[in-house]
Structure 1
Amino acid sequence: MTAPPLLENFKTTDFWFPDGNVILLVEDIAFKVHQGQLVRHSDVFRDMFSLPQPASETIDGVPWVQLHDDPSDVLHLLRALYDGLYFNKPSAGDFCAVSAVLRMSTKYLIDHLRERCLARLEADWPTTLVGWDRREQQATVDTRYNPREHFPHPVLVIQLARELSLDQLLPCAFYDLCRYGPRKIAAGASTIPALLPAKVLAQAHPPIQTQSSSTSAANGHVVQLRLSKPHLRATFLGREHGQRFLADFIQRELHGRAISANCANRAHAGGHHCRESYYFIMLNLLRAVSGIATGRDADPLFSLVQAVEMLSRTDFSDGTRQCGLRICASCKEDFSLAVAKARKEAWDLIPEWFGLREKSKGEQQPQTPEAEQEKVQGAN
C-alpha cells in the first residue's frame, strides 16, 4: 500500500479552507476546498468523488485527489467557482484567467464558465466586420491606438485557438498579427513562464522545463512564444494578400476615377475639384501601403477607413491655410459606398488570405498551416 503524500511537501494558496473536505494536489500545490462546490458545477468532479476511497488514503483525515492540470489553471478555476468571473472592460491582463478557465471548464464540463469565456474571446476576436470596428474603437483612447492594452498578443490567441479547436478566433487573430512588421511577427509574444501551462511553454524560445509553478513564478524571466513555421508562413502570406488588396483598390477605385453622374463640380473644368480630391486620397493611400504614413502598411481595413475620413477632414494645407477637400457631395457618397463595399470584401477574404479557408473555384488553392506541416514532415 502506497503511503499518502506528505502535506509538508506541498505549498498552499488562499484556497485552503479549514472546513474543506477534499484536497486537490496539483504538482507542488495543494488546495483544500469543498466537494459540494465542485460537484455542483461539474459532473466530471461528481464522478471523480463518487469513487470509493480507503480511509487510509487521506491527508490529515481528508480525502485527496491528484489532478494532472497546470496549477495556475486550477487556481483560476477555483477563483471563478468561488468568487465569480467578471470582466469590467477589455483588458489584455484578463487573458491569463480567461484562457485558464476555458481550458478547465472545457475539460471538466462546466458549461456556464465555458460560455462566459467564449463570449469574452469572441467579443475581443470577432467574426464580423461590425465587431471588428467596435473592437478598434475600444482600443483607441483619446486618439491613442494601443490594442495591446486591451487585447492580448495574437500569438497567444492563435495558440489557444489551436489547442481548443476555436477556429472562429483565427481569422481575426491572424489579421491582427499581420499588422506588425515582419521582425515583430517572427519574434512572437513575450510572456512570463508562470502565466502559461507547461505544454505551451514547450513551444517557447528558449524552451522551458517547468518543474513546478512556484519555481517558474519566482524566476519571473520572460520567454518568447513563437508561431510554428507553417503558421508563420501563413501570417506572411496573409500580410502580403492584405497589401495587394489595398494596392488593387487604389488602382481600381482611385487611379483615374471618374466623377459621379451627378457631380456638382462637372461644369467646373469637368469636375476638376473632385478628380483632384481622388488624386490626393490616392497619394495618401499609397503612403499607407508603403508604411510611410502610419506604419500600418498591412491593415487595409484601417487604411480604407482613413480614405473615407479624408473626405470630411479640414486640417489639410494648400500652402497658405488649412482646408478640406473640395469634393462634391455626390462624388463623396459614391466613393464612400465603394470603400464600404471594399471593406466588406476584404473582411470576407481574410480566412482565405491566411489559408484558413479554400479560395473560390478557379483560384489557386492555398496550403493551410496544417497541410504545410504535413508536407514538411513528409519530406523529412
Structure 2
Amino acid sequence: MTELSNIPHALKGLNSVVVHPDFKFPDADVVLSVTGRCLYEKQLLVDTDIRSNHSESGGASTSDDDEDFHSQTSRDRRKEREEKNNPEKPSQATLFKVHKSVLRRASEFFADMFSIPQPSNQDTIDGLPIIYMHDDPIDIHNFINHIYNSDVLHYLPLRQSTFNMMSSIIRLSRKYLLLRLAPAAMFRIRSDWPTTLEEWDKNDLQVVAITRWNAQVRDGSQDGGSRLGPEDLLVEPCRVIRFARQENILEILPAAFYHLSRLSSLNDPHRPRSCIEGRKRAHGYWMGGGRYATRSVLTPADWDTLMIGKAEIRAWFVNFRQYGWQSIHATNCGADDPSSCVLSSQGGWKNYWDEVIGVQTRKILAQDGLDVMEVLQVLRHVVLYDENLCSGCRVQAGKIVGCARTEFWDCLPDFFRLKRPNPWGGIWMEGEPVDCFEQSI
C-alpha cells in the first residue's frame, strides 16, 4: 500500500485511509477527503479508463494500493455487516487526488473557493491541500467520475449504474452549484423514466434486450449460483421512487410506479438459498433477466400508492377484456361480401372478442406482475395478422387495441392517484374523476 506522508490528525482516528486508485493523478494539486462507509468494489458501478491510460503513459501505476482497494470483493459483505452492526465505529476515509481546474469548471462552489487565498496552516497530505467533504462517498465518487468522463454521458446504457451517477449529480447540485452538470443529469433521468408512450417503448426495447441477455447468460452458466455483476442489473424502481420524492421530480413517478407494479414479488434474489423456496425464487429472478425491486425502501404511503395502482390497473384490464368489443372503432368494415367477413355477422365483434381476446388474456390475470402495456402490444400484433379477418377488420381491431394502449398510458397518473405533472398534459383536471376505460374505447 502506498505510504502517505504526514497524515492529518483529523484522519488518524479512522480505520483506514485509502487513495482511490482511479483518481490519484501524479500532477494533482488538491485532495478531496470523504469520510464514511467504505467504497467497496461492488459499489463502484461505473468503470473508467483513467487508471489504465495513465499507467500506459507513465502516470499512476498499478500498485499494492490498487490491489488492496480492489481485492475486497470477497470480503465486502462481511465488512458491510460489521459496519451496520457497529454504526458508531470509525469508518474509512477515501482520498481523491484531482485537479483544481477540473473542479472549477464543474462547480461554481469550487470556483469561488479556489479564488480565495487559503490559510497557511491548511491540512495537507503528500504536500497537497486537503478539502474535507461530508457527503456520501459514493456520491462524491460518481461526481468525480462524471466530471472526468463527461463525454460518455450520452452513451451510458439504461442501467442501474447510470441512474446512480445521475442521481448523485442531482443530490450534490444545490450544495456545490453544479450549474452545468445538473440540467444534463436531470434530462437523462427524465428520459429514462419518460412521460410519453413513444419514449417508454424505446426504453422498453433496451430493457427487454438486457433481460433476455441476462437470462441467456444465466441459463448457460455452469455454476447455478453465481450472480452477474452489478453493471448488468436494471434500474431498481423503488429507489427511483424514493429519489423522485426526495428531489421533487414528480413527473417520473407514474413510469416508475408502473414498472414496479409489473414486477412479481415472488422472484427475489435476496431470499436465503438454504431452503427450496428461496432457491426457487432466486432462480425465478435470474430467469426473468434480473428484474427486481427493493420494496423495503418504500414508505407506507408509497406502498398504498402501489397497491391502489395495481388494483386499478387490474380493474381496467378486466373491463377491457369484457367490453372492448363495444369500442367506437368496432364498426362494419364495408366489405363487398359481408358473409365472408367474420365481424360483419350478427354478434361478430362480441364473439371474436370473447374467443380471441378473452382466450389470449385469460391466464394473464392470474399473474402477480401484470404488464398491460406489453400484453396490449402483443394483442395488437395478433389481430393485425389474424388470417380469419379481412383487411378492413384487421385495421379496426388493431386500432381498438392501439387506442386502448395509448389511453392506458395516459391514465397512469390516475391509476396511482398521483398529481398529474404538467408534462403529462391530458384533458383531466386535478380532482376530477376519470373513467380511463370509457375514454380508451
TM-score (norm 1): 0.71
Structure 2: segments with no counterpart, 5+ residues? 1-7, 36-92, 216-230, 271-293, 421-427, 435-441
1:171 and 2:236 matched: no
1:77 and 2:151 matched: no
How far 1:297 moved relative to its partner? 5.3
Matched residue type, 2:17: F
Partner of 2:325: 254
Change (3 A) 1:6 1:305: closer
How far 1:26 moved relative to its partner? 0.8
1:133 and 2:201 matched: yes
1:64 and 2:138 matched: no
Separation of aligned partners in 1, 2:210 and 2:150: 32
- Picking from 124, 128, 144, the partner of 2:192 is 124
How far 1:281 moved relative to its partner? 2.6
How far 1:129 moved relative to its partner? 0.7
Partner of 1:280: 355
Change (3 A) 1:135 1:288: farther
Q: Is the 8 A contact 1:250 1:282 kept in 2?
A: yes
How far 1:128 moved relative to its partner? 0.2
Matched residue type, 1:249: F
Partner of 1:21: 29
How far 1:163 moved relative to its partner? 2.2
Change (3 A) 1:110 1:301: same
1:1-380 to 2 correspondences below 5 Å: 5-6=10-11, 10-14=17-21, 15-27=23-35, 28-60=93-125, 61-84=127-150, 86=152, 87-141=155-209, 144=212, 151-182=234-265, 225-254=296-325, 260-264=331-335, 266-268=338-340, 271=345, 276-291=351-366, 295=367, 298-313=370-385, 324-357=386-419, 361-363=431-433
Which whole-Å deviations, capped at 9, do the CAs of 1:123-170 have from their partners, x for residues lacking one? 221110111111222223399497995730111211221222221211
User: RMSD in angstroms over aligned alpha carbons?
Assistant: 3.4
Separation of aligned partners in 2, 1:309 and 1:137: 16
Which whole-Å deviations, capped at 9, do the CAs of 1:56-87 have from their partners, x for residues lacking one? 22214432221111112111211221233523
Change (3 A) 1:331 1:106: farther
Separation of aligned partners in 2, 1:17 and 1:75: 15
Structure 1: segments with no counterpart, 5+ residues? 191-222, 314-323, 365-380
How far 1:39 moved relative to its partner? 1.3
1 or 2 for the larger relative contact order (CA 8 Å, sep ≥6)?
2
Q: Is the 8 A contact 2:329 2:400 kept in 1?
A: no
Which whole-Å deviations, capped at 9, do the CAs of 1:89-127 have from their partners, x for residues lacking one? 333343333322332345322233223322332222111
Bigger CA drift: 263-272 or 7-16? 263-272
TM-score (norm 2): 0.62
Which whole-Å deviations, capped at 9, do the CAs of 1:270-305 have from their partners, x for residues lacking one? 5377665333333235415423xxx47522222222
Q: Is the 8 A contact 2:325 2:349 kept in 1?
A: no
Change (3 A) 1:135 1:145: farther
Alignment: residue pair count: 314
Separation of aligned partners in 1, 2:139 and 2:329: 59
